[in-house]
């Protein structure tokens, strides 16, 4: 299946160390990749039908000094839908004057939701259909963009519906927060002061986070499988939704 990477931080942060770890796994997941960086309400969005180990776009991103508070990345192993640019995650839509970004790992069997609003898939993946349905239902539930707690409450009601059709590991963001839903395999780690060093699990590359951070920094990373050794990656329970704001797990008011 595909692999997911999400990051949420309280200050614009470089995600290239984690993205390098994700890209290392693209030998198996070679049917496309994508990454999206929020910058305030703006968005940088890069996708390619080539794998992250051979794509010139991926090489450009690794060298580009992009820092962001919310990042979502995906490497694809095609199961539903052709190997084509329109089927590459993450997908992007606009709702309430904000960009929404979505990436999915898993298969949804017999999933054919009724889409009757403005959100329609461009490609032919079950993932994009699920995203369009989520956007449609969020638009029906709220007249304008609500707060994080209210959005989280609505998503807790909506996400089990596509999840009932199969594996639904999901990352979703509109720049306000990072929502992560675990179905079968998803992990998260929170990094804060005192920062330590970490080594990628799939490549001989280490970083001393203390040399690149301040005591006030907070960073949360979500991945399909732990990207590093020596850190406390916490597995999601089946059906669990975690919400990250400002680099920490958000506790609803």
For residues 119 and 134, the answer to whether their CB atoms sit within 8 Å is no
Kind and range of the H or E element at 61? helix 56-63
d(CA 158, CA 12): 30
2: annotated active-site residue: yes
Strand ranges across the sheet with 3-14: 42-48, 33-39, 67-75, 3-14, 218-223, 187-192, 234-235
Among the options 2, 54, 132, 153, which is catalytic?
A: 2
Strand ranges across the sheet with 197-200: 206-208, 197-200, 228-229
The DSSP code for 6 is E
Which residues are part of the catalytic machinery?
2
């Amino acid at each position: 299946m595909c692999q997911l990477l999400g990051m949420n931080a309280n200050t614009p942060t470089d995600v290239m160390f984690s993205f390098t770890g994700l890209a290392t796994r693209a030998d198996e997941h070679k049917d496309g990749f994508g990454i999206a960086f929020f910058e305030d309400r703006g968005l940088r969005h890069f996708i390619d039908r080539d794998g992250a180990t051979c794509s010139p776009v991926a090489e450009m991103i690794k060298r580009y000094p992009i820092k962001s508070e919310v990042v979502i990345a995906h490497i694809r192993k095609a199961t539903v839908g052709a190997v084509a640019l329109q089927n590459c995650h993450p997908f992007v839509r606009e709702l309430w004057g904000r960009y929404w970004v979505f990436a999915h790992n898993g298969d949804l069997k017999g999933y054919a939701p009724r889409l009757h609003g403005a959100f329609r898939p461009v490609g032919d993946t079950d993932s994009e259909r699920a995203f369009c349905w989520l956007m449609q239902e969020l638009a029906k539930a709220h007249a304008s963009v609500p707060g994080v707690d209210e959005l989280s409450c609505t998503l807790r009601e909506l996400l089990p519906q596509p999840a009932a059709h199969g594996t639904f590991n999901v990352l979703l963001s509109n720049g306000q927060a990072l929502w992560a839903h675990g179905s079968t395999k998803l992990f998260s780690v929170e990094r804060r002061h005192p920062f330590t060093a970490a080594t990628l699990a799939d490549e001989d590359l280490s970083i001393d986070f203390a040399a690149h951070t301040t005591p006030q920094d907070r960073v949360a990373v979500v991945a399909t499988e732990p990207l590093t050794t020596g850190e406390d990656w916490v597995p999601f329970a089946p059906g669990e939704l975690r919400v990250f704001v400002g680099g920490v797990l958000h506790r609803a008011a």
